[in-house]
Every structure is written in C-alpha cells, then in structure tokens.
Amino acid sequence: MKKHVVVLEAEGGKDKWIDGHRRDTMPIVNALKAKGFDSEVIYFRDEWKDEVFKYISQKSDAVIVRINPGNLPNGEAVLFDTLRRLYDNGVLVMTHPDTMMRFGAKDALAKLAGTPLVPKDTYAYYDYDEFAKTFPKSLSKGTRVLKQNRGSTGNGIWRVEVVDERVKNRSNDALPLDTKIKCTEALDNHVEYHTLGEFMEFCKQYVEGDNGMIVDMRFMPRIVEGEIRILMVADKPIFVVHKKPAQKEDAFSATIASGAKYTYYDPSEYKELVDMFVGSIPMISEKLGKIKDAPIIWTGDFMLDTDENGKDTYVLGEMNCSCVGFFSHLDKGIQDMVADEVIRRIKSKKDEAV
C-alpha cells in the first residue's frame, strides 16, 4: 500500500474557488493527510492523458474524480478511457466511469421502472423512431416529463401537456401530430407552445449522437411542493435538502438558477424516505448492472406523490454522481466521512489481494 491518493480536477469552470480548486477539494485532501495518507490535486487534460496515467499508476492507491463534465471542452471520453486504464492497472477509481454512467444516466429511471422507486409507465428512447412511435400514446394518458440524457441544471428537461380541447379525452389513443401542446423547460421555467409534431422534431437532437437518449415519465403535480435530495457518502446518508420551486405560474424546476429555495435537514427528519432509499441500494445496484460499490459521493432526488389511500409516497426523479458538491456542509465533517470511506476501500482492496 502506497498510502497516497490523487484528487483529479479539471482547470477552470464556475465550480472553482479563489484557490483554483472546488471548495470541497482541499478539505478532502487535508482530511486524508490528517488520517495518515498523503494526498494531492492534479489536473486532467486530454493531451496529458498518458502522463496522468503514468503518474497516478506509479504513485497512488486511489484517485478521487472531482470533475464537472461541463469543464472538459471535448467531453468525457478521454477521461473515462484513462480512468478505466488506471482501474485495470490496480488503482481504485472513485467513482468508476461505468458506475457514474449507470447511476447518473437518466435511463436509470427506466431500468428501475416498476420498482418501489419509479412508476412502471417510465420509458427510455434511444432512437427517434422509437420515440415517435411511443410518445404520442404516452402523452395521451396525461402530462409527461421528458429528460434528455446529457442535460444538467434543468437543460433539456421539459414538462409537456396537451392544451388542445379536440383531443383531451382521447386517453390511450396515439395523439395526432397537429395536437397543440404546452412545453415548460426546467432550466428557467420558460413556456413554449408547439404542435406535437414540431416538438418531437425538436427533440431529435436529444436522441442523436453518442449516448443520445430521452426518458419519458409521468409528471408529478406535487413537484410544486418541492424536490427532496438525499446526499450520500457511499451507503451513508449525510443530509437531506428540500428544494422548493419558485412560487410562480408554470414553475416546476427545483434548481437554484430557476429561483428554487433550499432548506437543509438531518436525515432523521426524513427517516421513512431515507430508510427506504438506503434499503434499496442493493436492488438499485443489481438493476443497474451488478455494481459492487455505490458511488463515493452521490445523491438521489425524489418527488412527492400520493397513493390510493391518500398517503404520501416518494418517486425517484434522478440520481447524480459525476461531481456532487458538499462545500456548504464542510462544518459537518463530510470531508472526513469521504476520507474514511476512501481509506476503507483501499484497505479492503489490499486485504482481498493478500
């Protein structure tokens, strides 16, 4: 065991503080050092991939990836290839790109459809023909939410509702392409009106290219009461944040940029939801591809629903694990929890090799 951990960052971006790092990066580095492990930050560029691979593989037990995908000018392909090479060379990668893609991709919802977490009428479309065939029928059953795979902060997430009186009662029939619809984007809650055919043509961009995909799920009207996010370190719940959309017409986005209000809670204050989510981790890992370890830092976002008995239930809206921030809660010692989990995994891997 080398007792050395690299934290990998990308240069620049809006997530950086005055020292050039994410605000939660150096606290992780310092927490590892306090626990007897050396640690440092290095930056990743595509053109440095071989040097990064050589440096980490020779020096480190593990690498913690703290890169916002939007900060890589050419996307994640070269980074992910480098991380897989490191993993194959015996370096622990947290979080491994395959786990990032399986937990963080929007189609995780479709893979979990029919479980206690996600309604069964949740679909994923990987090509336009599939989308064009199924979406007019799913929309006939009620207001839907479309989510592109590559979006973030509400970009490419649309609430789609029928406003055409001619077809409002045509449940379970595929709607005609000239159906008038109202589309609200979660990015900023702006509203657009289109025909169904026009909007579906616009959505072609979401299913084209590498990793193109759209998730289609039922709209949850109680989203106006807020979205509930659970922040996890591995399988440990750390805090819950209630994200309430701006109180204005058509608002349903729970992002800060759209005016949502965030309130933080201890996990014990949402015990039923937290226990249900934590208890579901083995099932989630199995459904998403028999994943051994949960992401090192990740979240589950839930919406409120009501069951047939009038009781509150929760519906998973998405999971995030590519680069979840927690700098607002450094005073809670989350950096120490991350360091403890990293060291536990390093020691566990060493014991397996003995």
CATH class of 4-95+331-353: alpha beta
- What class is the 223-321 domain? alpha beta
Is the model's pLDDT at 302 over the cut of 50? yes
pLDDT for the residue 21? 94
Residue 222, pLDDT > 80, answer yes
> Using one digit for the tens of pLDDT, what is the confidence trace for 33-48?
999 999 999 999 999 9
If you write DSSP's letter for every residue of 309-320 in order, what string do you get?
Answer: TS-EEEEEEEEE
CATH code of domain 119-219 = 3.90.70
Angle at 268 between CA 337 and CA 277, to 5 degrees: 75
Structure tokens, 184: 């609200």
- Strand partners of residue 241: 229, 264
What residues does CATH 3.90.70 cover in the chain? 119-219
Closest CA to 44 of 323, 233, 232, 292: 323
CATH 3.30.470.20 in the chain is located at 223-321
Residue-wise pLDDT for 42-86, tens only, equals: 999 999 999 999 999 999 999 999 998 888 888 889 999 999 999
Distance between CA atoms of 102 and 332, rounded to whole angstroms? 29
What is the pTM (predicted TM-score) of this model? 0.85
How many CB atoms sit inside 10 A of residue 151's CB? 16
Residue ranges, CATH 3.40.50.280, the chain: 4-95+331-353
